[in-house]
Each structure stands twice: as structure tokens, then as C-alpha cells.
Chains A and B, each alone.
Chain A
């Protein structure tokens, strides 16, 4: 798109050309930074506004609407009224309208022009004018600049652009009235001057509506609030409009196992050698057992159909995964607390029977783990995450530096990292039972669809290297979460039905997996960017993956009977079809080039490979028990320590005097050996090892940006090297086959990592200036160290002896 630059003299309004909504005003930044504007009005124009004109300035706003017709007319024209500066460029688009790019089934609901999108930087505001639209899929800011940008970003989401916010991605909307922020939820009486949208993917958008026409402000604000913040019906999700309008031509090449068929479950049983003691059952066909359970699932061979049917699947151990030694991970939905004594007696008897059956040989010993008592509650998780994300939803750079001063304490007070640590620790515990103690572990939770999913997925990621490949991980999410019946719709509160149900359980899993990915990068076929875009996909309602509570709910809503009389059921997209969101070039960022791939055995070799896999396990298969013998020397040692060195030393060797803790031993023993990337993988969970997922949480914060730095710097180097190796290989092949000299080869494009920023591949255009971010926060006082602070720093006498 081309613009014509028009220099506008200062005699006042009305000189500009073009109608409302088509004129963009941009100011040279030099004059704008006169200090105060940032505080009161985000528009740099304010810098030129003399006090007397303030009322004119607010013309667009209904509350201040009290002026003459002329002024009103001028205000309507959407142009700036008070131009004192002598060189203000008005860019006028030669093409007429900026239209939103709509997906199939997407409808434009409302729009507003001359909206100023801005961000605060270096104490002043920088931004652009454009159109703000709301559709049944997204809120979108249409900024002409992006269209004229010659740099096509290397990493771009095809569905959700940089200035798009899907309705489900909106976390909270604030209106600013006279510099006061107010949460906008339902009906609005007054319309704000500014709109701040906090997103679930942690972006923050600031829109100034002062130059927008009153009617448009009303429409857009209430539209956005209504469509993104109020309860809606499932069928009103964009998912359905899209599915009915979009041609679904997904190629069947997706390697992800969807677990929608009996076959998938049988294959999984076979893969893990679980088929000896477990069976896939069809009891729930037609959902006659329970609507919460998947159509097909796996139970111990000895469980009868009657028992499954008896309590709608409650009290039945459901198989998750089998360890190479035969021990299995099971989950069970518990009985709710019954008031009625006889009912609870019967339930207890039923459970006892079940436990008895599956504790007998050939089944291993059974260990029960009631996750509702051994892990934080969903409420705790929700509270922690709400506090945690607040640290990253930053309005401006003052905010950022103010948070920064108390960073570690704030971080600790959210408790989020501690929850991650506890969950990882629990997963290690379960792994120890399976691996070392050879016991089956039965995870119990009320519905077995929340923390059960987290723990069972983590255990599999740690113990089964297949789950660390991309397709393996995706299959795992399908198995444990999507088909397993995690209530994505309720937990993400996609429909705004009840905030009580909301809890970031799936995000918790991704955060835990990220810890493993950053601790052992070569063990994973995918990158942290993969996890980040996966977390973003939670809010993109064109995929069915994260928009149903259960397989039953999806199946019943799939038949297109209700909405339209169209033929056939909806064909939903799955998020695992990454080509929908990313072109191949961008998808390269999801694959870990340094993945230590396991040599692929062909089918005939399968058995030996399996054997090899077992031998590769970095742990002995029998538990090494500490010797109970106490030789005289040991006694002597104890004596020496106790009597001579006393408590001062005693404190330091606590660990060895404690009763043997098998978990600690398991953990320490594993960590004392070299890592086998295809074997068991245990996360390190000590203090400093649990970290903040910087890519996900810091990626939109300009102050946190490193020019030429961040993990992308190393990734870029690796990718360059990969390309170089590939081109050399190609070159060599050519030399071999043709023996042609002098053929011209294109040099692979170099990523200049010095030019990339740590926010890459996200937030490409966030911060153009390369000026360093300088802390603006004030220095924290040291109360207790005043004497030290005042002490003389330097040694006074220089004539002292040398050496």
C-alpha cells in the first residue's frame, strides 16, 4: 500500500484531505516527547495541545459533548484539530479501505476508526492509528503500516496475526476513565477514553478512543466486551461457523494417534507391552457407562463389564501406561463423599473388591495416590497462576521496573514455581514406584481428569522417550487430555460460564514439561517454541482439540443437525495439523535440530530394539539397599563425629544420618549418572533449577528484550549450521553425480543473530529503537547495613608492605 505524504500547515483543521477513517496522522517523534503527555493522554498530539483546547480535544467523547456545531463537525471528521507544529505529516492511503482479513465463517460485527494503538516506551508514547474491529472470531487492529512492511517475518501465525486477539484469548478488559482503570465486564453506562486488553497469551494492548466517533466507541466497546466477556453458548463458538464454512482438506499424514478408535488403544497397549494384563473395552459405546469417559478405554483384564457399569465408571482403575517392567500407571475417579452411610459402605466394599482383584498376581503390588490430598488444589493452582501472570501483564515501563525491584520476592509470593516443583516431585515419586519398586500406581482424583492428567502425562514424558518426540507428545495429549476427558472448555472458561471452574491445569503441564525441555534439550524432538505456540493454541477456536469437555460432548455436537441443515457432520480441525497455523519455514522453529534422535529400528528388529532400550536404562533394575551391617569403623566414625565435632558438624551431615529416603536416593542416584536421552529422564527440582518460562512470559515485554541475545541466538547458529551442512551435502552429491565444476550454488541465507532479538520469533515489531532499557526504579534502601554503607571504601595508606 502506498501513501502520499502531505505536509500540513498549521492554520488548523479542515485542511487535510480524505474522509473519516481514511486519514492517518503520524507525528515525528522528536517533538512528542515533551515530558508530560505520556501521563495524561497517550497520543503524542497532546504534546502540542494548548490547555484551552482540551475541551475540543475531548469532543469525540460523549461526556464532554457540549460544543458548537462547527467543532462537532470538525470532530466528526476524525482529524486532529489543534495543530501547532508546522510539520505534521498526514499519510493518506491511496487505496480506499483497510479491510480485515476474514476467515471462512468469520463475520464482521462492529468496527471503529481512528483508534490509536500505542505503547509506552522511554517515557513517551509510540503508536499508530487504525481501525479496531470485532468479529465473531477475533478483535483485530488494522494498522496500515503492517501491510506496507517489506520484512515478511520469518515466523508468522497464519490464523492469528500480530494485532489479532481471538475472543477466547481475551483475559480482561479495562476501561480508563479520567486516568482510573476499571474492569469492564457486562453492561456499560459510560464509555472509556482508553481500552486496555490483557490477553491470555500475555499480550497487552492499549487503545486510545479519544479520536473515535462517539457512536463507534459505543459500538466497539460494548461489542468487544459482550463478545469476549459474557457467557455464550457452545454452539456460538467460532469453531462451528468455521467448520461449516471452511473446506476441510486436512491430509491424513498426521502421525498423531488420536485415540478415537479401539485400534488406537490396542496399538498403544501393544506398544507398551501392556496387553498381557490389560484390555481395551467397548463397554462405553453409545456412552452407556458415562458421558465423561471416552468411547474406548483400557482396564485390567480382570475387571468385568458389570463393575464398570455399576457406578458409571467410578471406582474403576483405568489404564494410562505400562512401564517396560510391566508395572502400570492407572487412574481412577473417586466416589464423591456420601452422606448416606449404607451407600458409602457399599462403595467401600466395591472398592475393596476391586483393589483385591488387581493386587493379586499377575498384577504387581498396588500403590494408591490420592492426588486431591497430595497435591495443591485446583483453587490453589488458579490463585497462584493468577498472581503469577500479573507479573508479566505490564502496562508500561515504569510498571516493569517497579516490579523488577522486588522481583524475587514477588515471584516467590505467587507460589507458582513452588507448585511446579511439587508436581514434578510427585511425578518423580510415581516414576520411582514404577521403575524401582515395581508397583502399580493408581492415581485417584474426583473426576480423574485434572491433576491425574498432569501427573500421568509427566510420568510418561519422563519414562517413555516416545512421548518426547513431537508425534508421541501429541498422542499423549490426545490420550490423557483430549480423549481422557479433561474439561478444557470449563478449565479455560472459554464460554465464560463459571469462573469457579477455571484452572490452568493444562498450562501447568506445559510449564512442567518446559522445565524438562530446558534441562535436557537434546532429549526432546520439539522446542520451547513448540510449547509456547501450543499454549497459544488453547485460545484459537478453529481447532476442536481444546474446545470440548469430553469426547462425548464433541461427538454429540459434531452432528450438524442443529445449526444448519447442511449435510453431514462438522469436520473439525485438529491443532496437531500445524500447517494450518504455520508455513513450513515457521514450523522449522518447532523442531529441535539438536534432538538426539534414536536410531530407528525397522519392524523386524523391534524385539531386539526393545531389549536394548531396557538395557539402556540408566538405573539398575533392583533396588540397591544400604547395607545394614555396621562395621566397627563406622561406629568409630559416628563416635568421632558425635563426640568430638558435636553439633556444629552434625548439622552438615544430616542427610546421611536421616533414615534412608528411597525417593531421595532414587533421585540422587539417577543424577549421579550420565544422562541417557532415550531412557528415564528426571527433572532437577532443587531451588534454582525451577525457572520461569521466559519465552512464554517475557516475549511481549519490550524492556525485557535483548538485541542479539536470548536463546534464539544459539538456535540461529544451529539452524545456519544445519543449512550449511545440508547445502554441502547437496553440493557433494552433485559433485559426485555430475562431476561438474563451476556450478553456482546459492549460499544459504544467514540469520544474523546480532540483528535478532530475544523476543524472536514473537513480537517482531514491538520495539524498534535499539536504545538500551535502563532501570528507572529507585534504589532499595538497605536498612540494616547502614554502617557498612558509610564505611570508607578504600585503603588509605599506600606505603604498606608489598607481598
Chain B
């Protein structure tokens, strides 16, 4: 049997070597992208205890099979190994290799190509697994189509009779959707140790202190410490000082899901604030709540600079009206006389999901280059990005130029609201543009305030058609990327940082994006049983640092919400296409330059120290210092 494997493999090696070499790029590319995010963790060889006895026999007898085996993370174990599985790559054609399914990943490696062809897919990215093809010509063969959340589809083919004991399909389905099959997510088995503990990145008390809170108008409240006021809010909230807990409970009863207006950010000078909440339960009969009205008045009064409060309702006006008929609604001018209500006309999660689906259609696997622009147009994806950015700019502008406090909500205040407040904060506060600051921003506005990650992403769940799934967080990261494109020197992090975040939004390797709210996370003991994504990132900051970064302290960034200035994020959405290689960054040259500077600085310091010890005090002739030549220093590569 082993002999047969060997023969097959040899044949296919001979075959594929002659096939020309457009493959290298794909391999490089896949490796670069997948490995870039997790390479440092890949351990050298497979510890034999993690391989079940069945497969050990197979492996020990076959060198090639060993070479094609998956590298494993600490805590990861192999579930299936199948040889001679064909990966049908849309770019290079069929590649035959060994498929390994572990409790974390699906791994295909083919040494028949040089360099070896590798596809490494965390199971978490899988949205749907489907059997395709039927029996024909007496062959009993199978095809599997795997639809991924990260903009690719994978197709595998294998011979049924050879694999009959292995049941690739069943294993893949079980492991890809652990939650539906009563299994834990891999994050709870992952045993890697990092030098930094990412769970310590966000401490709400420290963050509010950084913002200058509490102050005379705002207090840090523990009313939600047991999640009784609102089960989707964090334990620590910032509310107006004068508000009594009883009143707060009444406000909670009036606001959808108890999500009362709480402070997200305060301007260090004007004291204008961003507060977030859910829609008021006004209903068709225009129900009012005195406590809620008073509460918003208090928020307005906390800012002496303005006698107005702007309420940004992220929804479309018409949709808000529909919601009103169903018991929700928005703040009327009569009940809230000092408030100005602005609808940002942003569409709902279903529209966004549909838009991303269309986007995938036009970018994967092939691009119609002659109709590229109109195809992009037809997905509306960038239009929605534009709407979000424009909304956030309006919020930031009201705070910065208008010195007016704003309240932001949509329906429940955990999707569009989080997108808008987080983006506005990124524009207003340069701290959030650092790596650490951005991590805090995500932890605070998204994770602690109950963006329903588990539901929107569908971690480990096999119901791919679930209407609750939507790429809301992806849209936010896309907006951030658009901002980094427009302001290439204003952010401490680079593109890889954003891609890494998105990859692990789906991968279920880290606990960071698991569950729907803080209460759930506590119950699942996420912070003790899983590793934080920030542990991984913060232990190798160099990789994620933008060399162009200049700290724009106190500088408000207003991105231009014009399609002129928005681009499709090729390095994310089309990264699987080998023709879309990431541009060779000039970063390399810049990094060399930075190294030269550091070296020179050191030398100068050394010399100065030397000179100081010699303590020669001769007259310094300032005039003679040569002026800087205009010719630039060229770096060689």
C-alpha cells in the first residue's frame, strides 16, 4: 500500500514539474498571508502523541506522507489524514497532496511542487461544507466544496474507495462546526504561551481615567456590575453624576434591551461627549419617559459649551418609522426640545451581508477586468463604506467644531452604533491610532459593549444561512483601512495588523472575538481559558508597526468620504488571487533608513561621550557647520 502511494506521488511529481511555474506565486502568496499571521507559532514537528495510532502507522512507513503533514500548534491534534486528495486551485489547477484535518485547521500540502504547495485554512473561516459530484463511470469519487468567510472557496476531490474509512467529509463538518456538534471551540484547547498577556490590554477604569473621568459631571457607575441593568453592556459604565440609580433603571426600561445612553468618549477640552445607546421604546402611541428626557437633558447640560444635543440615528428615516410602529422609534422634537435628530440613512445588516456576497462574486476566483469598475459599483460595498465614514465624520465634526455633545444609536446599538462611535473616536483621539490604543478601542466599543460577534460571525455554527450573520466588524476594519490609506503616517499600525485582526475574527484560535457580550464571556471564562489575540500581536509589535508613523497628537483626522478616495481593499478581498500580489512596499527601504539613522545616532552619541571625557573645550565655530547638501542619500537594495 505504501508502495502504491509512492508510485502515485512520483508520477504526479514528474507531471507537475513540467507544468511550468506559475505556481510559485500562489504558494508564496498563500504562505505569506497565512503564515505571516501565525508563522511564529508554528512548531517544528508533530509531537507523536498528538497523532492517533491509526495514522502513526501510516506516517511512520511513509516519508512523503510525513513531509506533507501539517505543523501543529500546542494543543492542536490531528483528526484525519488523507493522502492523494486533489485540491482544485482556481489559479494553478489541480494539485494532489495530503489533507490533514485537525481540531483547528484544514491543511493540504503537496511536495510534488517546488516549493511545496500548501493550503492552510483555519476551520473557523469555513462557513459551509458541501458534497458535490455524484457517482459516475463506476468510479466512486467525491468532491467537496468549502465556502469560506474570508472571501474564498476551496474545492477538493478524492476517491471514495481509498478513503472509505477516513470519512473526510464527516470529519471536516464536525470539526468545522464544533458548536453545532457539541464540541468546544479550538480557542479553549490552544496552549501557546506568549510573553505578553493580551487580556490586560483593556482595563476600563484605566481607559476612563485616561479620558479624565470621573469628573464633576460624569461618574463611573457600578450599577451594572452583575449585568442586571443591561445584560449586553459591560460591568463598568460612565453616566452623568447626577443621575440616580432608580432613574437609570427607568431609562433602561424605556431603551431597547436596556441599553441606556452611556459615555463613550469625552473631549478633553470642550467636554463634549459621545454617548451611545439603543432606540427608545416610543412605539406607535408616542410613549414618553420623563426620566429618559431628563437624562438626555443632563447629558446636554454636562457640556457647558453648547445648548443643543445632537442625536444621530444611524438608520434610515423610513426604517426608523417602521420600527416605531413595532414598539421602537426615535426621540421626537416635542419630547426632547433641545435635541436635534439626524438620520444617517445607513442600511441594515442584511443589506451589508448581501453586498459582501456580491463582492465575493466579482473578486473570486476571477476578475472581469474590462467591467471591473462597474462591477465594484454594482456591489455598493464602497458606497456603504462611504456612508459610514461620512456619518462618523459628521459626528466627529459636531464634537470638534461644534463643541456639541452627541448621542448615537441605531436600533439596538450594537452594530451601526459601534461602527460610528469607534470610527468617530479614531478620528478625534490620536491615542486610538496607536497599536495599543486601537486594541483598547476594539475591546471597549465593540467587545465590551456587546457587539454580537458570535452571532454576526457564526463561530463554530453550521447554519450558514443564519440571517443574523453580517460583516459589520469587517466593514469597520475596512473603514479603518481606508483611513490608513488616506492618512498613511497617522497610524502606528500597518495593514498586516488589520488583516491579522480579521483573520482571527474567524479563526477561533484566540478568545478575543468569542461570545456576544461581557456577561457571556465571563460565564465561559474566556479570559482564563483562552489566549487573547493581543498577546500574540503585542509580543511581536515590530511586525505590525507602520514605519511611516508620525504621532499626530491632538490632530483630528477627517477622512474624505468620497468614492474618489475610497478603494477596494485588494490586499484583503483579493489576496487569494496570485495576480494580486501585494505591492512590494517601500517600507523595506524606509526600515533600512531608520536602521541607518539609529546606527548614526549611536555613533554620534559615542563620539560625543568620547569627546566629553577628553573634555576639550575649544571655541565652537558655529558658522562653519556645512549646510546640508540637497542630494538625497540613496539606499541600495
Contact = CB atoms under 8 A, between A and B. Distances in A.
B71 interface: no
Interface string B459-500: 000000001100000000000000000111110000000000
B488 A711 contact: yes
Interface string B610-637: 1110111110111001101110111111
Given A593-B632, A631-B11, A754-B555, A409 B373 contact: yes
A150 to B, nearest CB: 22
Interface in A675-696: 675, 677, 684-689, 691-692, 694
A510 to B, nearest CB: 20
A655 B91 contact: yes
A686 B580 contact: yes
B468 A795 contact: yes
A626 B20 contact: yes
A522 B589 contact: yes
B374 A522 contact: no
Contact of A669 (B21, B369, B415, B516): B21
A243 interface: no
Interface string A696-735: 0010000111111111011011100111111111111011
A633 B7 CA distance: 10
B120 interface: no
Contacts of B594: 721
Contact of B319 (A409, A599, A698, A789): A789
B15 A631 contact: yes
Contact of B604 (A587, A648, A732): A732
Contacts of A729: 600, 633
Interface string B521-552: 00110000000000000000000000010101
A627 interface: yes
B565 interface: yes
Interface stretch (B167-175, B290-298, B342-350): B342-350
A798 B133 contact: no
Determine which residue in B143, B412, B558 has the highest number of CB atoms from chain A within 10 A of its CB, and name it: B558
A665 interface: yes
B18 A629 contact: yes
Contacts of B42: none
Contact of B455 (A632, A710, A716, A795): A795
User: For the side of the interface on B, what is the size category?
Assistant: 35 or more
Contacts of A401: 562
Contact of A684 (B133, B139, B514, B579): B579
B610 to A, nearest CB: 8
A735 B390 CA distance: 54
Interface string B595-618: 011001101100110111011111
Contact of A641 (B20, B157, B372): B157
Interface string B88-113: 11111110100000000000000000
A725 B155 contact: no
A102 interface: no
B365 interface: yes
A793 B586 contact: no
B628 A726 contact: yes
Contact of A708 (B179, B326, B452, B487): B487
B421 interface: no
Contacts of A595: 634
A596 B620 contact: no
A803 B600 contact: no
A782 B90 contact: no
A748 to B, nearest CB: 7
A772 B397 contact: yes
Determine which residue in A626, A633, A726, A780 has the highest number of CB atoms from chain B within 10 A of its CB, and name it: A633
Contacts of A611: none
Interface in B508-524: 514-516, 520, 523-524
B195 interface: no
B44 to A, nearest CB: 26
Contacts of B629: 726
B618 A740 contact: yes
Given A522-B589, A597-B636, A669-B20, A802 B520 contact: yes
A706 B489 CA distance: 12
A644 B143 contact: yes
B637 A522 contact: yes
Contacts of A522: 584, 586, 589, 637
B630 A788 contact: no
A637 B96 contact: yes
A708 B560 CA distance: 12
B411 to A, nearest CB: 5
B549 to A, nearest CB: 8
Interface stretch (B22-30, B59-67, B213-221, B436-444): B22-30
Contacts of A689: 570, 580
Contact of A718 (B578, B590, B626): B590
B593 A721 contact: yes
B234 interface: no
A437 interface: no
Interface residues of A, number: 138
A421 B232 contact: no
Contacts of B361: none
A648 B143 CA distance: 11
Contact of B583 (A519, A597, A672): A519
Determine which residue in A643, A684, A692 has the highest number of CB atoms from chain B within 10 A of its CB, and name it: A643
A704 B562 contact: yes
A204 B452 CA distance: 49
Given A684-B579, A790-B322, A713 B488 contact: yes
B516 A640 contact: no
Contacts of A637: 86, 94, 96
B249 interface: no
A652 to B, nearest CB: 4
Determine which residue in B372, B380, B580 has the highest number of CB atoms from chain A within 10 A of its CB, and name it: B372
A563 B431 CA distance: 67
A772 B580 CA distance: 33
B620 A742 contact: yes
Contacts of A656: 92-94
A655 B487 CA distance: 38
Interface string A644-666: 11101100111111001000010
Contacts of B635: 594, 596-597
A412 B19 contact: no
Contacts of A418: 370
Interface string B114-140: 000000000000000000111011010
Contact of B368 (A408, A596, A687, A728): A687
B620 A744 contact: yes
A653 B568 contact: no
Contacts of A798: 231-232, 257
Contacts of A726: 628-629, 633
A672 B580 CA distance: 10
Contacts of A652: 88, 90, 155, 365
Q: Give 7 closest A-B pairs by Cβ, nearest first.
A: A627-B18, A672-B25, A687-B372, A656-B93, A772-B558, A407-B563, A408-B377
Interface of A: 400-401, 404-409, 411-412, 417-418, 421, 519-522, 584-585, 587-588, 591, 593-599, 624-627, 629-634, 637, 639-641, 643-646, 648-649, 652-657, 660, 665, 668-669, 671-675, 677, 684-689, 691-692, 694, 698, 703-711, 713-714, 716-718, 721-732, 734-736, 738-746, 748, 753-754, 758, 770-775, 779-780, 782, 785, 788-795, 798, 802-803
26 contacts: A404-B562, A408-B376, A412-B372, A418-B370, A585-B630, A596-B634, A634-B15, A643-B136, A645-B133, A653-B89, A653-B90, A653-B94, A656-B92, A672-B25, A706-B486, A708-B489, A739-B607, A740-B611, A744-B620, A754-B555, A774-B561, A785-B354, A788-B350, A789-B351, A793-B348, A802-B523
Given A599-B636, A704-B560, A725-B593, 17 more contacts: A519-B583, A640-B94, A645-B133, A649-B143, A655-B91, A656-B93, A668-B578, A688-B568, A694-B564, A704-B562, A709-B487, A721-B590, A729-B600, A741-B611, A748-B628, A790-B322, A802-B454
